[in-house]
Amino acid sequence: MALIRFSQRQEKIIEIVKRAGPITSENIAQQLDLTRATLRPDLAILTMSGILEARPRVGYYYKGNNVNTLLAEEIKKIRVKDIKSVPVVIREGASVYDAIVAMFIEDVGTLTVVSEGGYLEGVVSRKDLLKVTIGQSDPKQVPVGIAMTRMPNIVITTLEETVLLAATKIIEHQVDTLPVVKTFLDDKGKEILEVVGRITKTNLAKLLMEFGEGR
């Protein structure tokens, strides 16, 4: 089932019909300062997707309770705090060898690198570690700091952010994991990020599975 994303104009039409329906296409066109002909393809899309229904001689009315809309509304309610996992962290000074062992023991593909106190410094992925070990360096001698991606280049999420936004960040930045952080200001007014969890592609797959099973 495809989740439909409407254009800005289509969203505006939905708003108008929600507010003023039943309403003729002529009236919708007037409100948007467009011609009826311009609106025709938009109205066709909106009726075909079940958002609007057209009644002869009455006009368009809102019928947005179709499966896609309901599912989208449900998904938008879910927050990062509802599905996050516990963080799996390592210190920057730990060796690449330790990081590899931690990945096996904790069964994760990404470690969050933190300073003393659990503040976000970076992220180290499987491929980051492969890259340094393929260079024949001794993984016991090389620190994680050499291999990791550092702040401020880390894409993060927060407890209250929607899962939809977190998933969008994961796809857009092509990463497997986002650290979940709480933001504080230190004594000097500098922003620091405490790591309180992680969101992974597995969390998202589990959520999809639960939806599919009707939970």
Binding site for ligand ADP (CB under 6 A): 109-110, 123-128, 149, 153-155, 174-178
72 vs 151, beta carbon nearer ligand ADP? 151
Q: How far is the CB of 196 from ligand ADP (least distance, A)?
A: 15
42 vs 128, beta carbon nearer ligand ADP? 128
DSSP single-letter state for residue 148: S
Written as one letter, the residue type at 101 is: V
29 vs 99, beta carbon nearer ligand ADP? 99
Of the candidates 60, 121, 126, 65, which has an alpha carbon nearest to the alpha carbon of residue 99?
Answer: 126
Q: How far is the CB of 174 from ligand ADP (least distance, A)?
A: 6
Judge contact between 119 and 170, C-beta under 8 A.
Answer: no
Question: 89 - beta bridge partners?
Answer: 112
Task: Give residue for tokens 């962290």.
Answer: 89
46 vs 148, beta carbon nearer ligand ADP? 148
19 vs 127, beta carbon nearer ligand ADP? 127
- Pairing label, strands 59-62, 157-158: unpaired
14 CB-contact burial (10 Å; exposed 0-12 / middle 13-18 / buried 19+): buried
Compute φ and ψ for 213, nearest 5 degrees. -90, 5
Q: How far is the CB of 210 from ligand ADP (least distance, A)?
A: 23
Q: How far is the CB of 50 from ligand ADP (least distance, A)?
A: 37
Q: Which residue is nearest to ligand ADP (CB)?
A: 127
Q: How far is the CB of 113 from ligand ADP (least distance, A)?
A: 9
